[in-house]
């Protein structure tokens, strides 16, 4: 009976999962955090994210560590917009108070893939829309708008629209978290957009139709 009781206690413990402690921070740097730690929900691990916002020759790094899921590990993605581009990579570790490896950023490509997206940026609203367009490159096979609201240690809203990767439309671009007093609410809205190849095909169909009608 005593052995049965011990087994039941162990079973109850494992069914609840294992909770670890992670550092919890967000700052404008590329270095690991030294901020206080937090206890993660069961079965979550420590996830680091490194983001580079590139506008011309200006590069602004952002580094964060928080609790997350295994699906968030070792993911890279990018978003190109009217003023520049955003590159993001993640990494993970799974022991108390650990420092994840330095996240790897995606490899950029200058090869156009035929997709064209509308592009804009707003530093005062979580929505933007203009007639400006941008040609997509590499694996940026989606048109996306990122809407972000930050509250807590400082408050701001911004929106970025342009060419993006599948990973930004999913894991990287959608996040709700509280990091060292900063509440992050970020969402991505994506579509397949329209390709230059498709536009060219429509042009030739119209020309062929007009030729048939006139002759």
Kindly report, residue by residue over 79-102, the tens digit of the pLDDT: 999 999 999 999 999 999 999 999
Alpha-carbon distances, residue 91 vs 10, 60, 66, 68, 196 (angstroms)? 31, 19, 11, 11, 35
Running DSSP on this structure, what letter comes out for residue 44? -
User: Percentage of the chain with pLDDT > 90?
Assistant: 66
Query: Does residue 211 form part of some domain?
Result: no
Alpha-carbon distances, residue 73 vs 30, 34, 101, 104, 165 (angstroms)? 18, 21, 11, 11, 16
Predicted pLDDT of residue 7: 38
Helix (H, G, I), strand (E, B) or coil at 83: coil
Query: Does residue 214 form part of some domain?
Result: no
Report how far residue 46's alpha carbon sits from residue 23's, in angstroms, rounded to the nearest whole number: 8
The full length of the chain comes to 215
Q: What is the pTM of this model?
A: 0.78
Predicted pLDDT of residue 194: 58
Predicted pLDDT of residue 138: 96
Q: Is the pLDDT of residue 6 over 70?
A: no
Query: Does residue 3 form part of some domain?
Result: no
Predicted pLDDT of residue 13: 38
The β-bridge relationship of strands 45-55 and 58-68 is antiparallel
Query: Does residue 12 form part of some domain?
Result: no
The residue whose two tokens read 């990579």 is 89
Query: Does residue 4 form part of some domain?
Result: no
Least confident of 50-59, 113-122, 171-180: 171-180
Q: What is the CATH number of the domain that holds 22?
A: 2.10.60.10
Query: Does residue 5 form part of some domain?
Result: no
Kindly report, residue by residue over 135-151, the tens digit of the pLDDT: 999 999 999 999 999 89
Query: Does residue 57 form part of some domain?
Result: yes
Kindly report, residue by residue over 157-166, the tens digit of the pLDDT: 999 999 999 9
Q: Is the pLDDT of residue 53 over 90?
A: yes
Tally the domains of the chain.
1
Confidence grade of residue 9 (pLDDT, cut at 50, 70, 90): very low
Q: Is the pLDDT of residue 1 over 90?
A: no
The residue whose two tokens read 């929900």 is 41
Query: Does residue 10 form part of some domain?
Result: no
Average per-residue pLDDT for the chain = 83
Q: For residue 163, give its domain range.
A: 18-202
Confidence grade of residue 177 (pLDDT, cut at 50, 70, 90): confident
């Amino acid at each position: 009976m005593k052995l049965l009781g011990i087994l039941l206690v162990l079973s109850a413990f494992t069914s609840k999962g294992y909770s670890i402690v992670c550092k919890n921070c967000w700052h404008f740097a590329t270095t690991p955090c030294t901020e206080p730690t937090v206890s993660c929900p069961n079965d979550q691990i420590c996830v680091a994210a490194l983001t580079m916002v590139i506008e011309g020759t200006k590069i602004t790094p952002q580094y964060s560590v928080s609790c997350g899921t295994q699906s968030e590990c070792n993911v890279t993605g990018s978003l190109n917009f009217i003023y520049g581009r955003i590159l993001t990579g993640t990494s993970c570790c799974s022991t108390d108070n650990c420092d994840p490896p330095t996240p790897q950023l995606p490899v950029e490509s200058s090869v156009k893939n035929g997709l064209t997206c509308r592009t804009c940026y707003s530093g005062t609203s979580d929505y933007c829309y203009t007639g400006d367009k941008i040609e997509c490159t590499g694996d940026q096979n989606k048109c996306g708008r990122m809407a972000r609201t930050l509250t807590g240690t400082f408050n701001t809203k911004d929106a970025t629209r342009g060419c993006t990767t599948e990973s930004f439309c999913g894991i990287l671009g959608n996040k709700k978290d509280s990091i060292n007093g900063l509440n992050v609410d970020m969402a991505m809205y994506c579509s397949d957009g329209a390709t230059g190849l498709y536009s060219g095909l429509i042009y030739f169909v119209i020309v062929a139709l007009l030729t048939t009608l006139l002759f």
